């Protein structure tokens, strides 16, 4: 692959860890799966960068998975000028070019779902199929997205998880200054993107521009982004499919990695 490396590459049996230069942004990502398999770009939700877990592995069984840390999350820095979703949409197009991906599948969770659907709106020719899981990006009046900025860590975990034991990969062995500073930085990135408005006021109208096959998958008990948001995406994206997973909420890939990845893999494996 002729990807420009910003720093070293680490190869394990399972995945490759790179830091690549995306128009000046040193982007950290994991890559896994057969290079011969269809490419899949996984866009994480807020503060869920720099992770490689069972749900990633499940997708890598069938696809050539790229899981970058979005700028401001994980190990990818955010330049100060990167302040709204349009910057991320352009960045993602640059990322596709840098990785040499013409038209990969996009799977986006939460904030990453918002990013994925923006790319599908603006660059429909670059998105093979779209999967939105518990995605942000729109507003459903009367059903506000919960104010996670007002929550302490325990309240936040209690809101997004049904089963707190599934949150183990997110809980550091020790709360260090570095950890708190990184958390502050990631929340600042989210605030920059989504304090007010916490959605893209024009996105609802523009969802009609999404032309690729689309799957919407949602934890039925999501208390952060209520399932009615999934209904609305389903309604506004022509031909989309909607799957709701019982017994889980905002973090289905943590709580039910198998039940979450199976319909996604099936959907992405279908021939057009």
**Binding positions for other proteins, rule: CB under 8 A:** 83, 147, 149-152, 177, 180-181, 184-185, 187-188, 190-192, 195-196
Q: How far is the CB of 196 from other proteins (least distance, A)?
A: 5
Q: How far is the CB of 178 from other proteins (least distance, A)?
A: 10
What spatial distance separates the first Cα and last Cα of the chain, rounded to whole Å?
27
Q: How far is the CB of 151 from other proteins (least distance, A)?
A: 6
Nearer to other proteins, 143 or 188 (CB): 188
Q: How far is the CB of 153 from other proteins (least distance, A)?
A: 10
Q: How far is the CB of 150 from other proteins (least distance, A)?
A: 5
Nearer to other proteins, 91 or 233 (CB): 91
Nearer to other proteins, 191 or 228 (CB): 191
Question: Are the CB atoms for 163 and 253 separated by under 8 Å?
Answer: no
Nearer to other proteins, 8 or 201 (CB): 201
Nearer to other proteins, 192 or 221 (CB): 192
Q: How far is the CB of 110 from other proteins (least distance, A)?
A: 17
Nearer to other proteins, 2 or 196 (CB): 196
């Amino acid at each position: 692959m002729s990807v420009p490396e910003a720093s070293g590459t680490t190869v394990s049996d399972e995945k490759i860890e790179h830091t690549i230069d995306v128009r000046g942004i040193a982007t950290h990502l994991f890559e896994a799966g057969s290079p011969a398999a269809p490419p899949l770009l996984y866009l994480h939700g807020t503060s869920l960068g720099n992770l490689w877990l069972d749900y990633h592995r499940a997708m890598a069984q069938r696809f050539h998975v790229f899981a970058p840390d979005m700028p401001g999350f994980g190990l990818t820095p955010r330049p100060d000028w990167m302040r709204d979703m349009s910057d991320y949409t352009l960045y993602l197009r640059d990322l596709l070019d840098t990785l040499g991906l013409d038209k990969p599948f996009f799977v986006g969770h939460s904030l990453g779902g918002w990013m994925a659907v923006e790319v599908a709106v603006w660059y429909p020719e670059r998105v093979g199929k779209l999967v939105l899981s518990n995605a942000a990006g729109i507003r459903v009046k009367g059903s506000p997205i919960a104010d996670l900025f007002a929550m302490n860590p325990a309240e936040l975990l209690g809101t997004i998880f049904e089963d707190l034991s599934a949150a183990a990969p997110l809980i550091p062995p020790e709360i260090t200054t570095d950890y708190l500073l990184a958390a502050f930085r990631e929340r600042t990135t989210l605030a920059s993107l989504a304090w007010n408005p916490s959605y893209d006021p024009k996105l609802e109208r523009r969802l009609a521009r999404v032309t690729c096959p689309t799957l919407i998958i949602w934890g039925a008990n999501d208390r952060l982004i209520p399932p009615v948001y999934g209904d609305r995406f389903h309604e506004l994206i022509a031909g989309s499919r909607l799957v709701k997973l019982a017994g889980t909420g905002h973090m289905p890939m943590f709580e039910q990695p198998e039940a979450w990845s199976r319909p996604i893999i099936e959907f992405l494996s279908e021939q057009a």
